[in-house]
Structure 1
Amino acid sequence: MRNVFTFLLIILFFNIADAQKDGYVAPTDTAVQHKLAQWQDLKFGLFMHWGPYSEWGVVESWSICPEDEGWTQRRGPYSADYNTYVKAYENLQTTFNPTHFDPDKWVKAAKDAGMKYVVFTTKHHDGFCMFDTKETDYKVTSAKTPFSANPKSNVALEIFNAFRKENFMTGAYFSKPDWHSPYYWWPYFPPKDRNVNYDPAKYPARWQQFKDYTYNQIQELMTGYGKMDILWLDGGWVRPLKTVDKSVEWQQGIKYDQDIDMPKIAAMARAKQPGLIVVDRTVAGPYENYTTPEQQVPAEPLSHPWETCMTMGNSWSYVPGDHYKSSQQIVQLLIKIVSRGGNLLMNIGPGPDGDWDPEAYKRLADIGKWIKINGEGIYSSKAVAPYSAGDIFFTQTNGGSNEYAFLLAKNNDVALEPVVKIATGNDKKVKSVSLLGVKHKLKWKQEGGDISVTIPQSLQSNSGLQYAAAFKISY
């Protein structure tokens, strides 16, 4: 993951074909199929990027990557010299002490907001482990880390257990590349970019050490952290060379075969966690059980399961004074994504003290108020043509017997025209039309696939609804 410096892209729909090539392979394991169907019904999840980098309030991991990209820029007193910066960055381990860490507080806020699953960064590209791995001392439970003395020091375990108690699906984010590991960035050579800094074919023994290291860490997560539903693998440049798509700009820098034997990893993980959803993101094939457009909303439904991963603020990781999207924006993004048949995985980056910014709690509280009224048109819903018409977005439930037309508000408060016209695109006979959260009976008229709903004057500018109004159409 990387920072995003503009919100403009996420306001606009984009053609998903530009970011995801064809090649989705549906899982054949019936347990995986069942879990994937359950996950698709959840619609709204929580993502968290967290590590010692939050102490500096900088982009997660990427500032130690020697690439000249906008999100990799070094800042601060150590930025003039790369080696000095990396040493200071890695030394953050010795001061990381998030004493306000209280996962139960996060669970309550996320549950009240209507979130149903969680994905947490057990290890990002920098290699720092937020779990008690036996493979490295670069971890939150190391004696070098002040927080190791805290009873909740095994952060990933505490998070997964807390959310699981409230019936959340749990997902372990895990970075395949590891920029701290001497088996990936061999100290004999300087790192050149995000990729492995030696040729694995020339040094197969060292690459095998990295494969074993990766396998062992994933095995730890699959055996010691309770029931796991999702293994969310990031760092798509770690992949077999034959899968590289040179038409994708960021894949053009992959020069070496970085095959870590995903068949072996997936088989082990599913032996420990039957039905596990594996998300080897951007590597199309049998181990990318759903795709993950980042900070984007597809223009139309996809033919396979998918999830938009998106930041609540501008950054994946904690940044002091980050600009958070408004509650209206988040609700309307959720509606747009669900209308296309996808899920929204919304990221909040905890701070160095172990808590979220108060603004994040405010957003979740607002979303929760909306979802309590309108959630029946969100959860377990399917996409239905025409998907959207102007400011109205559609979903359906109960095998199509109920359809929901979400009218997006131009401001926080919903203002309704005297007559709301809903172009459903089908001419099935309508039995009733109601407005969720409003007790008034509505008068309506159907002409083919078009429904005209008469809005009482008292509701037009004073409906009490916010962000979006949901018309429930029963057939």
Structure 2
Amino acid sequence: MSQRFNWLLVIALVITFQANAQNTLHPTSSEYEYPTDPKVAEKLEQWRDQKFGILIHWGIYAVPGIVESWSINNEVWINRKDTTQSYEDYKKWYFGLSEKFNPQGFDPDQWADAADKAGMKYVVFTTKHHDGFNMFDTQFTDYKISNGPFASNPKADVAKYVFDAFRKKDMMIGAYYSKPDWHSQYYWWDYRSTPDRNVNYDIRKNPWRWNQYVQFTHNQLNEITSNYGNIDILWLDGGWVRPKSTINDEVLSWGAPIPDFDQEINMPKVAETVRANQEGILIVDRTVHGPFENYRTPEQGIPAEMSSDPWESCITLGGAWGYVPNDKFKPSRKVIHLLIEIVAKGGNLLLGVGPTADGIFLPEQVSRLEEIGQWLEVNGAGIYDTRAIENFQDGKLYFTQGKAKEMYALMPLAENEKLEETISWTLNPPKKGSKIRILGENNSLNWKTVDGKIVVSLPKNLQDKLSNTSAIVLTYVSE
């Protein structure tokens, strides 16, 4: 394939996927089931304290810098620039990227250091995306990073070194794993065409083949939770692989084809296996509501309302999950504002950052993360270890509450926005006689109640000092 085609493909796919976003803002529903296992419940509350994590998509798609996996899907919303190339030839080219993926610069310590400086507290790393390319040394397929040009590298078992690097920063460890596998002959069988994201044969007529796939999946999940140290989160993607009985309006809203049979991988058995290996591990069977979705994961957006159920918005730093050339990264101010809103509504933010094909974060990514961390270093008390309250917003202000019932009022500021002489709100009033101060500042602020409204005065020196910050956080004891 010519280099010209590769770059045209990059441009086309970036535009297409940014426009479609794969219908990613999955609606949530009220069917949440809090875990009954005390160890899982304990882990879940620990996770809820963390508030801010990093999601790292990295695989063969980084080589040409295209959107992960989806370009080999043949659904109608997928557009490829070169209309002369057959779909089968395109798949061969894509799968063949494994022979070019040789990330000699792979530096997981750089990733972990950047995440730590950002104030992130946990990582979710893609052990395998939908394309089936494994970023760990699985023994159940040769389609893996440790079986190509990178095989002789001391860090060929990539997942091991990623998890080790983040453990050294005392972060919770999450393993992303795709339930569908478009490279496996047990899922996309070459005997049949591959018209969409689903298994491409009728499971009812080929039970042996599907049972082989289920066993393959269980084997790999056993490997991940047995051979890679302590794992806190098993983050399962590919929500169309699910029992047919669980398909609801939420699934139908995706607009994806739905086969007339179960794509069941026996989640009770998966849970039994991984929790025998990792006591209390959180399982996130995304969008398949029930006992194996320990927290919800709305994607590329924020729910409109607060929820007391545990959830996490997964949102990209740039326009794509993985590396694409010339990606446009969100300003740190924007990410901080997203974090404030998400935490005030009861969620965590999982920020997607994709390394280059050589295995490093770009300087622009590192600088954005560092800027976020500088803000959190001062204001983190209003974010970490907090919980949402019913009156989570009053005008421009968002509210969170600490475990000692201390209140935080978080006020996002637009670029070049000047602080005024007073800040006022009505909900969540401070206790009479309590002190109000801004995090990072030692002096208390003067305040009073006027017609039921709290009015806090800001001295001129504070207005000037804080004029360029992304947000200010006031703390006080509420009634």
Q: Same fold judged by TM-score > 0.5?
A: yes
2:410 to 395, 401, 406: 406
Worse overlay, 437-446 or 388-397: 437-446
Preserved contact between residue 308 and residue 346 of structure 2 (Cα < 8 Å): no
Worse overlay, 264-273 or 99-108: 99-108
Matches within 5 A, 1:47-446: 47-69=55-77, 72-75=78-81, 80-142=85-147, 145-246=148-249, 248-250=252-254, 253-255=257-259, 256-400=261-405, 402-411=406-415, 415-426=418-429, 428-446=431-449
Preserved contact between residue 430 and residue 474 of structure 1 (Cα < 8 Å): no
Task: Give the Å deviation of 1:21.
Answer: 2.2
**Structure 1 residues 434 and 446, CA, compared in 2 at 3 Å: closer, same or farther?**
same
Q: What residue ranges of structure 2 are gaps of 5+ in the alignment?
A: 1-13
Task: Give the Å deviation of 1:60.
Answer: 0.2
- Indicate the RMSD between aligned Cα atoms, in angstroms: 2.2
Preserved contact between residue 246 and residue 252 of structure 1 (Cα < 8 Å): no
**Structure 1 residues 4 and 92, CA, compared in 2 at 3 Å: closer, same or farther?**
closer
Task: Give the Å deviation of 1:459.
Answer: 2.2
Equivalent AA in structure 2 for residue 395 of structure 1: T
Q: What residue ranges of structure 1 are gaps of 5+ in the alignment?
A: none
Preserved contact between residue 414 and residue 468 of structure 1 (Cα < 8 Å): no
For residues 181 and 44 of structure 1, the distance between their equivalents in structure 2, rounded to whole angstroms, comes to 34
Task: Give the Å deviation of 1:461.
Answer: 3.1
For residues 288 and 8 of structure 1, the distance between their equivalents in structure 2, rounded to whole angstroms, comes to 23
Equivalent AA in structure 1 for residue 111 of structure 2: W
**Structure 1 residues 160 and 370, CA, compared in 2 at 3 Å: closer, same or farther?**
same
For residues 165 and 285 of structure 1, the distance between their equivalents in structure 2, rounded to whole angstroms, comes to 33
Cα deviation code 1:297-353 (max 9, x no counterpart): 112211310000000001011111101001110000000000011000000011111
Preserved contact between residue 54 and residue 319 of structure 1 (Cα < 8 Å): yes
For residues 288 and 427 of structure 1, the distance between their equivalents in structure 2, rounded to whole angstroms, comes to 37
User: Matched residue of 1:149: which SS?
Assistant: coil
1:456 to 459, 462, 465: 459
User: Matched residue of 1:407: which SS?
Assistant: strand
**Structure 1 residues 140 and 79, CA, compared in 2 at 3 Å: closer, same or farther?**
farther
Indicate the residue corresponding to 1:36 in structure 2: 44
Task: Give the Å deviation of 1:244.
Answer: 0.9
For residues 274 and 360 of structure 2, the distance between their equivalents in structure 1, rounded to whole angstroms, comes to 31
User: Matched residue of 1:217: which SS?
Assistant: helix
User: Matched residue of 1:171: which SS?
Assistant: strand
Task: Give the Å deviation of 1:7.
Answer: 11
Task: Give the Å deviation of 1:157.
Answer: 0.8
For residues 193 and 383 of structure 1, the distance between their equivalents in structure 2, rounded to whole angstroms, comes to 40
The alignment-based identity, stated in percent, is 47
User: Matched residue of 1:271: which SS?
Assistant: helix
Preserved contact between residue 435 and residue 444 of structure 2 (Cα < 8 Å): no
Worse overlay, 456-465 or 328-337: 456-465
Q: TM-score, normalised by structure 1?
A: 0.93
For residues 30 and 233 of structure 2, the distance between their equivalents in structure 1, rounded to whole angstroms, comes to 22
Task: Give the Å deviation of 1:462.
Answer: 3.2
User: Matched residue of 1:424: which SS?
Assistant: coil
Equivalent AA in structure 1 for residue 91 of structure 2: V
For residues 76 and 422 of structure 2, the distance between their equivalents in structure 1, rounded to whole angstroms, comes to 54
For residues 21 and 454 of structure 2, the distance between their equivalents in structure 1, rounded to whole angstroms, comes to 33
Task: Give the Å deviation of 1:22.
Answer: 2.3
Task: Give the Å deviation of 1:148.
Answer: 1.1
Indicate the residue corresponding to 1:22 in structure 2: 30
For residues 391 and 239 of structure 1, the distance between their equivalents in structure 2, rounded to whole angstroms, comes to 41
For residues 37 and 296 of structure 2, the distance between their equivalents in structure 1, rounded to whole angstroms, comes to 18
**Structure 1 residues 265 and 300, CA, compared in 2 at 3 Å: closer, same or farther?**
same
Worse overlay, 21-30 or 310-319: 21-30
User: Matched residue of 2:306: which SS?
Assistant: coil
Task: Give the Å deviation of 1:8.
Answer: 11
Cα deviation code 1:439-471 (max 9, x no counterpart): 444211135863211111222233265100111
Worse overlay, 368-377 or 418-427: 418-427
Q: TM-score, normalised by structure 2?
A: 0.92
Preserved contact between residue 434 and residue 442 of structure 1 (Cα < 8 Å): yes
Preserved contact between residue 414 and residue 467 of structure 1 (Cα < 8 Å): no
For residues 196 and 223 of structure 1, the distance between their equivalents in structure 2, rounded to whole angstroms, comes to 28
How many residue pairs were aligned? 462
Task: Give the Å deviation of 1:429.
Answer: 2.8
Equivalent AA in structure 2 for residue 323 of structure 1: K
User: Matched residue of 1:148: which SS?
Assistant: coil
Preserved contact between residue 419 and residue 467 of structure 2 (Cα < 8 Å): no
Task: Give the Å deviation of 1:414.
Answer: 5.8
Cα deviation code 1:112-131 (max 9, x no counterpart): 11000000000000000000
Task: Give the Å deviation of 1:252.
Answer: 5.6
Task: Give the Å deviation of 1:75.
Answer: 4.0
Task: Give the Å deviation of 1:49.
Answer: 0.5
User: Matched residue of 2:151: which SS?
Assistant: helix
Task: Give the Å deviation of 1:260.
Answer: 0.5
For residues 336 and 120 of structure 1, the distance between their equivalents in structure 2, rounded to whole angstroms, comes to 25
